[in-house]
Structure 1
Amino acid sequence: MSETIPETSEGGAADAVAARAEDLTKVYGQGETEVVALDRVTVAFGRGRFTAIMGPSGSGKSTLMHCMAGLDSISAGSSRIEEVELTGLDDRRLTRLRRDRIGFVFQAFNLLPTLTASENITLPLDIAGRRPDPGWVERIVTTLGLARRLGHRPGELSGGQQQRVALARALAGRPAIIFADEPTGNLDSRAGAEVLGFLRDSVRDLGQTVVMVTHDPVAASYADRVVFLADGRVAGELHEPTADRVLDRVKALDSPGTVS
């Protein structure tokens, strides 16, 4: 059975969560081809906190994030974004939830090449018919150091700048939570450090909630907390992580019989 890991706010209120999964199970296939990707996972992500998810290849990291973000269906259990239960939402309500309360950042920047950085940042709000908050967008752009790049198209930006535009786009609608799947995977070490620094700053300075899947112990060290998965189950956690402590834990997970 999966370990239950509560997440609390700094004041200790266990209900100050941006997302929660309870006994979340995801099964692919049937019969002989059945694969249990997530096995009754219970975990919560505190509001205004930065959490990294780590584990060996095939441990269920991305599957957990996709299920909690409403990008993949759930076989059993439950998943909530704030007070909203995802299970049972029809496509229209699920689309609205993802649009209004969730931000996504992936390895692929997914910027439209014909639009400027500014237009890419506000595109989801434009599609939803919502007016951007100019003060909020300006704050994000300033924090990300994009003020002088807003008129540039993606092809005129470096990889790190493109990823920062993608981050600004994810933040522009003030989502309850940002899910980031290997957001530095396509970046060099310098650009990756810039993106991770901004994610850290967005939690500290903007009160954002960030959940990041990563395989990189250095990237995980930017988080407040690391949740480890192994074989589709929660295998422990680490608070105030350092790269060395994360690496030691990951090595233990890769060794048979050492999962805690």
Structure 2
Amino acid sequence: MSTPAAATADATAARARGLTKAYGSGETTVLALDSVDVDIARGRFTAVMGPSGSGKSTLMHCLAGLDTVSAGQVWIGDTEITRLKDRELTRLRRDRIGFMFQSFNLVPTLNALENITLPLDIAGRRPDREWLDRIIDTLGLRDRLGHRPSQLSGGQQQRVACARALASRPELVFADEPTGNLDSRAGLEVLGFLREAVDSLGQTVVMVTHDPGAAAHSDLVLYLADGRIVDEMAHPTAEAVLERMRLFASGGGRDRAGSAPAVEEA
């Protein structure tokens, strides 16, 4: 029988308790995250939204071990990453986490396949050929594997970045504004592939975005304001997300502990 801790690790890909991040000191201290408690469900697509300066990218960076915390605890699965030394944390990020960013970060001298397998090559690991083939076919990259980034469109480059993030079969994929540099059509393609990664490949995705349309591809939207999670929305639609954002912008939102104005979520 699983212990409660093991059951939690099975159900959640990442979690944080009392997560606090402050920049500066004294009167110049800026509290980017204020005692955040959050659970990221395994095998689900979670979007994180909020106005500029709300702490959404800081939350992602702390959950992913890219930034240190000022207080609180963060776990990836059953591993508390806030206790890890730098070398252990580097190994965990390499082996258990995938990353996508607004900039594609592809190596221009390598072709698409070489870019996809680069993290595995650096780690001295051979790719799981069957898994790699599934990713390549899911992302529609089979006929682009020999092309260098300069020979690919923006959408194709982000698909390569998506495949690279998935290549090691990570427990968790963090995507920070992954459609920010793409036109609407290419952005929709990439969002569709992230959705497919969750539904067909069993991945867990956390995406930071400011776009209600992008958030509508997720299973759950978390709203941040002033360094705190102030609301969440399951089964989001673009219209419901936009309306909720308007409520917060007008001061009509609520803290999770309080009550919110009714918003229809289609």
- The alignment's TM-score, normalised by the length of structure 1, stands at 0.94
Q: Displacement of 1:254 after TM fit?
A: 1.4
> How far apart are residue 18 of structure 1 and its match?
0.3
Matched residue type, 2:73: S
Aligned to 1:165: 160
Instruction: Give the structure 1 partner of residue 213 of structure 2.
Output: 218
Q: Which residue of 2 aligns with 1:5?
A: none
Please give the alpha-carbon distance, in whole angstroms, between the structure 1 residues aligned to 2:53 and 2:43.
28
- Give the corresponding residue for 1:91: 86
Displacement, 1:88? 2.2
Structure-1 residue corresponding to 2:109? 114
Partners of 2:119 and 2:32 lie apart in 1 by 31
Q: Which runs of 5+ in 2 are unaligned?
A: 1-6, 256-266
Indicate yes or no: 2:224 matched with 1:229: yes
- Tell me, yes or no, if the aligned pair for 2:44 and 2:203 is still in contact at 8 Å: yes
* 1:166-201 C-alpha deviation (Å, 9 max, x unpaired): 000000000000000000000000000000000000
Counterpart position of 2:14: 19
Aligned twin of 1:4 = none
CA deviations over 1:137-194 (Å, ceiling 9, x no partner): 0100000000000000000000000000000000000000000000000000000000
How far apart, CA to CA, are the structure 1 residues paired with 2:120 and 2:138? 20
- Alignment partner for residue 176 of structure 1, among 159, 168, 171? 171
* Identity %, equivalent residues: 69
Residue 73 of structure 1 aligns with which residue?
68
Contact residue 9 and residue 77 of structure 2 kept, 8 A: no
Show the 5 A alignment for 1:1-260: 15-256=10-251, 258-260=253-255
- How many Å separate the matches in 1 of 2:14 and 2:217? 20
- 1:64-83: CA deviation from partner (whole Å, max 9, x where unpaired): 00000000000000111001
Alignment TM-score, normalising by the size of structure 2: 0.92
C-alpha contact 1:60 1:232 (8 A) present in aligned 2 = yes
Distance 1:255 1:125 in 2: 47
CA contact (8 A) 2:10 2:42 kept: no
1:256 CA displacement: 2.8
Q: What secondary structure, in the 3-state scheme, does the structure 2 residue paired with 1:25 have?
A: strand
Query: How many angstroms does 1:57 deviate by?
Result: 1.0
SS at match of 2:15: strand
Q: Do the aligned partners of 1:122 and 1:169 also contact (CA within 8 Å) in 2?
A: yes
Cα distance in 2 between the residues matched to 1:14 and 1:236? 23
- Given that residues 171 and 204 in structure 2 are in contact (C-alpha distance below 8 angstroms), is that contact kept between their aligned partners in structure 1? yes
Give, in angstroms, the shift of residue 56 of structure 1.
1.0
Q: 1:27-75, CA deviations, whole angstroms, 9 ceiling, x for partnerless residues?
A: 0000011000000000111110000000111110000000000000000
Equivalent residue letter for 2:75 = R
Q: CA deviation at 1:255?
A: 1.9
Q: Are 1:55 and 1:253, in contact at CA under 8 Å, matched by a contact in 2? A: no
SS in 1 for 2:99: strand
**Take 1:198 and 1:258, find their aligned partners in 2: how far apart are those partners?**
32
